[in-house]
Structure 1
């Protein structure tokens, strides 16, 4: 299995080659004016991961229209320019340079690029802050990256707690194509060992897999009591159903990054639990989620109720809301530096319950060591009152420290 250093170097090499990228501007207008506050966003909206990220441009468009309908930010309209990087090597690097050098964005918002370490130094050199909407390496090692959500560390720790309660033997299936999947597998191995949980099977599964029999047999032979499946929606569903047909009765522990409407009716997911870094995206009892759902109903109804109506979409909204919260504190022009200073002023911000309390410190990466839980079977229901579970620093920091050391090598 690759080390974090190898993963990071490989991702940097793959993304070093610039390539053309399609520009898609959110919102009704097609241009910008000198009075607009221009921000950029990028992610794999099409291709292999479209079922997970595909609605993000619509969400950002809904956010833009909601903000502008309310008078903008400090009297100025906002303009979001989205870049679809798909699965094209080098697309993210080219996209960020266009956003900064041609479009003159004051921030990169809702970044959902798994290889963000390849281009983050360039953004930092230009003084442009990154507001990520994903838990990738860059958000943990770059002080210019401001992440509006809980952390993958906390989710992995919570996963270990769920696996321990289910019997202590965890099987894992993870995607072969994205380095972040291998990274997640390594996190699990490190964390759950300290939680007295075994991982007898950690299977790397290609997206082209047609027959999951061999993987299911591994789970059955090892006698796993819980399974964490971080494949795409479609692949995960086929694997889980195949394993159930072969008699595997392990409890499903699910990442909130995936949403599958079949969870509600498929017995495979009875008693399963979803762990996420933002509040349950469907729970309108959370004020911030209520406002989000209202915006979608008005400006993005085409994606509501689909599998693209998921946690990743809410994470993008949260990132944009974080930008707005910071920008509103600017005493004058909304510049890149004003955004950063505004982010530092936000102490304990939760974006009306969407995210755990956020605190940013100059030049230091920050992440809230918290996660949310919800139940998918029957109907999507929040657990823990839609409140985050936060892990004490004394418990989680010793586990995180060696991982961060490897990430920075």
Structure 2
């Protein structure tokens, strides 16, 4: 490609546009900015929004002649390319989650292990060591495969996607405080429900399988769920996806990532929890420049959820009466910690609005009507409806 001046440009040509140079990631370190801008500037990167448009300059496109770059068209192209990859990764996630158990069970039966499957409640039963291995392997793969898809396609620098050292450590206690508050608020409704929804909120479809295991196996799986799932889920959502979407604006990235978190859980009992928690985690990652606050707070969230669940199923019925007190104490600690962590400063990081050329309506249309991401959203809604019916 060569650049040549256009002789017939209109007199009112727009000013110079370079969205990469105009981008601002002041909430994080200069090393982050340099790595991110380098990623966006690469001509081989088809997932970057990097339109460059200068007065009296154009790009020669073979078969089309001289072409003046259109920022809105370039932004739409980048969003479509990114949404295509995210849609395929989420589809792989759903496929593994819903089909891999049967495949692994069949493989276990071939080698002589005594395992079976109950289609009425999705329970895997039989040799408990084999069942535990099946559950753990499926859980690892359903997160690992999408993460590998993102790594092989987006090729986001590790300094951007998987940075662990916080650039703004003061955001850590504030994130913990808000996590405690939203946990207490979003779980109040369960105290007044005659149905036990906590089983779906904690282990999801694995609940029935785990409930039939020996206590030692249950403990192993709970620890596995707490550590592995928390880390993998944050690498999945707030590692790769959040930063790729950030080139279109911080709030756009946070909200869309929160919607994707709801799709990953695809359970109507966890919609409010996942949505609010993912928004808080996304803000924490962008303001602190690190994945550590979001990973730690997701672990904390699961620990509290397991504690609430244990109070629900514990043989001693008197513990159920203390659930409101438990939530009240969590809320109180969260409020106190929030007050203690408020430290006004001139350098307090803030979320930024990046240069964009598409309206919100155009972005929503591009996301829902072009590419597989809209199809995945529909599939997740269907899974939620199935959960309600059955």
User: TM-score of the superposition, structure 1-length normalised?
Assistant: 0.23
Higher relative contact order (CA 8 A, sep 6+): 2
**Which structure has the bigger radius of gyration?**
2
Structure that is richer in helix per residue: 2
